[in-house]
Amino acid sequence: MRVIKHIIVVGFSIISLFSCRDIVEIDLPKSDPKLVVEAWLKNDSTSQKVKLSRTSNYDDEFDSSPELEATVYLETADGTTYDFVELDSGYYQIDSTLFVLQLNTIYTLNIVTKDGAIYKSKEQEIDAVPEIDLLLFFSYKAMEEFGFGSFVPKDYYYASITTVEKPGYGDKYVWKIYKNGEDLSVGNNLFVQEDKALEDGARLPFEASFFRDSLQLQDTVK
């Protein structure tokens, strides 16, 4: 019986090796490049940055191309403007020593491309967020008791924070995490929470930090 089983396995392997695939050509429609705006504007000591690029078609050689020589500026409700400077191809910045976003102030991001097209964001008020009131560190043993032991390696620590929900609904929270000065929440790793199911004054936990990165002694967390 053992010999027969081996023959069957080899037979299936040969079939899989010699199976063929048909190449399907898909005729995708072409479209004009669209402007892509990537910006993270915040009221801390870092410089404000905006990245501008153009979309590309599926079969183009490059995924995207930088948008050069654009005019980029922030505008307040009273008409005051703050200009971005193009430091690199498609990257525009306001130096933090010259300008810092102010709380309870409404801003609009304006972009004028080299060919004269005008783009304007919705008005956005810079609102204060609740302070982090509790920072906790958990050992692997505690994580195991919580039922997360299979998701995390041993001999490490894990951080979690809590804050208190502000009055009124409609708030969204976006958490950024820094480990030893490195931003761990770039790109698609931003952690977002909403207050739809929370009452005013409710404690807002942030367990997602459990899984983002493990910590060792002497590590720093921001």
Mean per-residue pLDDT, 6-33: 61
Read off the pTM.
Answer: 0.64
Nearest of 97, 210, 88 to residue 146 by alpha carbon? 210
Q: Alpha carbon 61 to chain centroid distance?
A: 26
Q: Are 32 and 115 in contact (CB under 8 A)?
A: no
117-121, 146-150, 171-175, 206-210: the lowest-pLDDT one: 206-210
Confidence of residue 157 (pLDDT cuts 50, 70, 90): confident
End-to-end CA distance of the chain: 63
Q: Residue 18: its pLDDT value, please? A: 52
Does 75 have pLDDT greater than 70?
yes
